[in-house]
Amino acid sequence: MILKDRYINPFTDFGFKKLFGTEPNKDLLIDFLNQILPSKHQIKELSYTSNENLGNSIEDRKAIFDLYCTSEKGDKFIVEIQKAKQNYFKDRSIYYSTFPIQEQALKGDWDYKLSAVYTVGILDFVFDEDKDEKKVLHTVQLKDQAGSVFYDKLTYVYLEMPNFVKTESELETHFDKWMYVFKYLHKLNDIPPKLQEKIFRKLFKAAEIANFSKVEHVEYLNSLKSYRDLKNASDTSHEEGFIEGKIEGKIEGKIEGKIEEKIEIATAMLAENESIEKIIRYTGLTKEQIVNLRNNS
């Protein structure tokens, strides 16, 4: 696959985690989250937490988040990129939010005081029930029958990106600028004048494909192919059930294709004379598999 794009697509798994899931780029995630959080939960610092949660017992279903982090105040944040419609995405959001709640339980005497939990979904689609609306940001909390917030420490934030239609000249707020980046980054050739700020200059530098190593380039190509396949399956179908079937099939195919992806990454690393130990860390392949790959290349 020959890439003509200068910058990565943040809706790919690799692109999203490259920009927001690494320690050097932690300030990008903080700046973005602060645009959608209330003033009382603004973040000054955060730490990444394992994005895999196995639950409390062997019977519990496993949850794997795109990003999971904790602020300096102890507030919990799950951040998910959703590339295509899923019948039960809201259900999944609720399910995911139970893990950071349960993990706050303390042994022994405990007064049940909880830190705030936020589940953020950045959606490359619009919910069916919102198709007649044009709102980008949806903030959801538990409310009583009078519409008053019953509990303000559990919040779901959904960004429906197809509803964002502002041009560069129409960007007014910092929030607008972040939405513009998410939607158009991979289509841009340079940093637009309205995004000439320190935080966005750093993001564009991190997103520039020409700066990637050979291994990163292979990883991104695989991630981009998965994203395009998934989008094409959704965009070319008009029957919702068929769409969901294709999506599930793509997910299964993606899992099966992981081995092939790991082999491509390992091959690229071997070409750069990386150590076998490092290749094991990056790919999860065994030493024997890597040695065989090197001998047969």
The rounded mean pLDDT for the chain is 85
Looking at the fold, whether 193 and 280 belong to one and the same domain comes out as: no
Looking at the fold, whether 126 and 184 belong to one and the same domain comes out as: yes
Looking at the fold, whether 69 and 151 belong to one and the same domain comes out as: yes
* pLDDT single digits (tens) 61-112: 445 678 999 999 999 999 999 888 877 889 989 999 999 998 888 767 888 9
- Highest averaged pLDDT of the listed ranges 41-55, 120-134, 175-189: 175-189
Q: Are 53 and 63 in contact (CB under 8 A)?
A: yes
Res 260 pLDDT > 80: no
Looking at the fold, whether 295 and 164 belong to one and the same domain comes out as: no
What total of structural domains would you count in the chain? 2
Looking at the fold, whether 121 and 246 belong to one and the same domain comes out as: no
Res 1 pLDDT > 80: no
Residue among 230, 287, 224 at smallest CA distance from 261: 224
pTM: 0.76
Amino acid at 235: D
Range of the domain at 36: 1-211
**Strand, coil or helix: 204:** helix
Res 258 pLDDT > 50: yes
Looking at the fold, whether 82 and 164 belong to one and the same domain comes out as: yes
* CA pair distance 146, 211, nearest whole angstrom: 54
Looking at the fold, whether 32 and 77 belong to one and the same domain comes out as: yes
* pLDDT single digits (tens) 143-189: 999 999 999 999 999 999 999 999 999 999 999 999 999 999 999 99
Looking at per-residue pLDDT, the higher value among 2 and 4 belongs to 4
User: Which of 195, 211, 227 is where one domain is finished?
Assistant: 211
Burial (CB count <10 Å: 0-12, 13-18, 19+), residue 7 = buried
* CA pair distance 26, 31, nearest whole angstrom: 9
* pLDDT single digits (tens) 268-292: 888 878 888 888 877 878 888 888 8
User: Which of 166, 186, 211 is where one domain is finished?
Assistant: 211
% the chain with pLDDT above 70:
85
What secondary structure letter does DSSP report for 249? Answer: H
User: Which of 161, 182, 211 is where one domain is finished?
Assistant: 211
